Amino acid sequence: MRLAVVTTDFPPQGGGIATLLADLARACSQKCRVTVLAPSVPGAEGFDRRQPYPVLRLRGPAPLRELAALRSLARLAGTEGLDVVACASWFPAGLVAYLLWRRQRIPYLVLAYGSEIVDDWRTPRRAVKSLLRPLKRRILGHAATLVAISRYTRTLLLQQGVSSSRVEVILPAADPDRFTPLLPSASAAPRYRRGARHCLLTVARLDPHKGHARVLQALAHHLRDVPGVRYLVAGAGPEESALRRLAASLGVAGQVDFLGHVPDEELPDLYRAADIFVMPSGFMPGRLDYVEGFGIAYLEAAASAKPVVAGASGGTADAVVDGVTGLLVDPQDPAAVGRAIRLLIEDPSLAERLGRAGRERVVTTLTPERMAERVLDVAQSAVRTR
């Protein structure tokens, strides 16, 4: 089988979706022929050389990039054969696959994450997508299968009028060979921990729904009496200035390190250097663009054998098994966040048990290879019913 993956998010770009798609493409390439179509970005040439599959880089702005993708897919279908297309999102990747389907009836799958499914007018980009609702219905309606990354994301698709029989829930994955519970490098632990007895970590874009503010409030009001706590904040985003001001106003700035963007190659050591991963993501009233469809960082922490504190919202219940691999809390309640962190600090055996169970869950059920098997099963079904 020949599979093409069309995406606007792909390494060396950062982010969970880019990492997920790279892992998926690598795992799928072990079982079928894979070609990835992705934007041309700085550093892409070096990354592409290291991959076991070809990457076609698309140059120029949208929509010229999408036209190039359509021409590349048509050429691939004509010269080497193409059985199915996997789209990283319904737009613009799904539009490219839909236009190819109109011309050549090559089936396509659409991956769905969360906020991109719903309609709102918060930003110009999202307003454009909302105006394209008729096109979205057409693209989703002609897809062979819609792959939802969580049960929550599945409900969003059903609310768009998609038949439940056409939605397959396939949970994301983390690479347990990359994220491991081994000791961090000799330089990483002291650099990150800075002598802390208890090290908390969040790896996420600094968006308001990720829960950084609740962690800061928990540090100030509910963990003040716990000595030696340090909070590592990895990531960049629009909330950084507000979070820095909040930390200062709460009197905890000395306990918080804003690390900014951490390169992918340094992330495994960062997870290993921490004791507890905490990201109490939650819903924000009126902000449908801010939602945790799953939370791949939870799996990276779990693969690193770290206990997790997560917000009980969106798709996090599929990423974190409450009481088994981590603790789900009210994401709007700093006291609940603080109680969960305190429990893991004061009960090291519980923290170790949750971390060990998280690692076992990733290794046995949530590897890129397992995800690839399920995606390829869906793809082969689409080919058979073409």
For the stretch 212-251, pLDDT in tens is 999 999 999 999 999 999 999 999 999 999 999 999 999 9
* Domain assignment present for 291: yes
From CA 147, how far away is CA 149, in angstroms rounded?
7
Do residues 38 and 55 touch, judged by C-beta distance below 8 A? yes
Q: What is the pLDDT of residue 330?
A: 97
- One domain for residues 21 and 167: yes
Domain count, the chain: 2
> Angle of helix 334-346 relative to helix 212-221, nearest 10 degrees?
70
Which amino acid, residue 347? D
- One domain for residues 357 and 380: no
Residue numbers of the domain that contains 62: 2-173+367-384
- One domain for residues 318 and 209: yes
- One domain for residues 195 and 341: yes
Q: What is the pLDDT of residue 62?
A: 84
Q: What is the pLDDT of residue 123?
A: 72
- One domain for residues 31 and 99: yes
- One domain for residues 230 and 316: yes
Do residues 269 and 193 touch, judged by C-beta distance below 8 A? no
- One domain for residues 166 and 287: no
* Domain assignment present for 80: yes
Whether 185 has a pLDDT exceeding 90, the answer reads no
Q: What is the pLDDT of residue 291?
A: 85
Whether 126 has a pLDDT exceeding 80, the answer reads no
For the stretch 20-73, pLDDT in tens is 999 999 999 999 999 999 999 999 999 999 999 999 999 988 889 999 999 999
* Domain assignment present for 179: no
The number of C-alpha atoms within 13 Å of 233 and in the hemisphere containing its C-beta is 25
- Give the β-pairing of 84-87 and 108-112: parallel
Long-range pairs for 94-97: beta carbons < 8 A, 24 or more residues apart? 94/139, 94/140, 94/143, 95/66, 95/135, 95/139, 96/6, 96/66, 96/69, 96/70, 97/6, 97/73, 97/139, 97/143
With residue 203 as reference, give the H or E element that holds it.
Answer: strand 198-203
Find, among 96, 91, 62, 56, the residue nearest to 76 by Cα: 56
* Domain assignment present for 178: no
Could you give the 3-state DSSP secondary structure of residue 85? strand
- One domain for residues 358 and 376: no
CATH number at 207 reads: 3.40.50.2000
* Domain assignment present for 181: no
For the stretch 67-122, pLDDT in tens is 999 999 999 999 999 999 999 999 999 999 999 999 999 999 999 999 888 887 77
- One domain for residues 134 and 216: no
At residue 132 the predicted structure's pLDDT band, cuts being 50, 70 and 90, is confident
For the stretch 161-170, pLDDT in tens is 999 999 999 9
> Omega of the bond prior to 12 within 30 degrees of 0, cis?
yes
- One domain for residues 14 and 58: yes
- One domain for residues 350 and 231: yes
For the stretch 320-375, pLDDT in tens is 999 999 999 999 999 999 999 999 999 999 999 999 999 999 999 999 999 999 99
From CA 67, how far away is CA 74, in angstroms rounded?
11
Q: What is the largest CA-CA distance in the chain?
A: 68
At residue 200 the predicted structure's pLDDT band, cuts being 50, 70 and 90, is very high
Q: What is the pLDDT of residue 97?
A: 98
Do residues 121 and 127 touch, judged by C-beta distance below 8 A? yes
* Domain assignment present for 307: yes
From CA 92, how far away is CA 65, in angstroms rounded?
10
Backbone phi, psi, residue 310, to 5°: -130, 155
- One domain for residues 52 and 9: yes
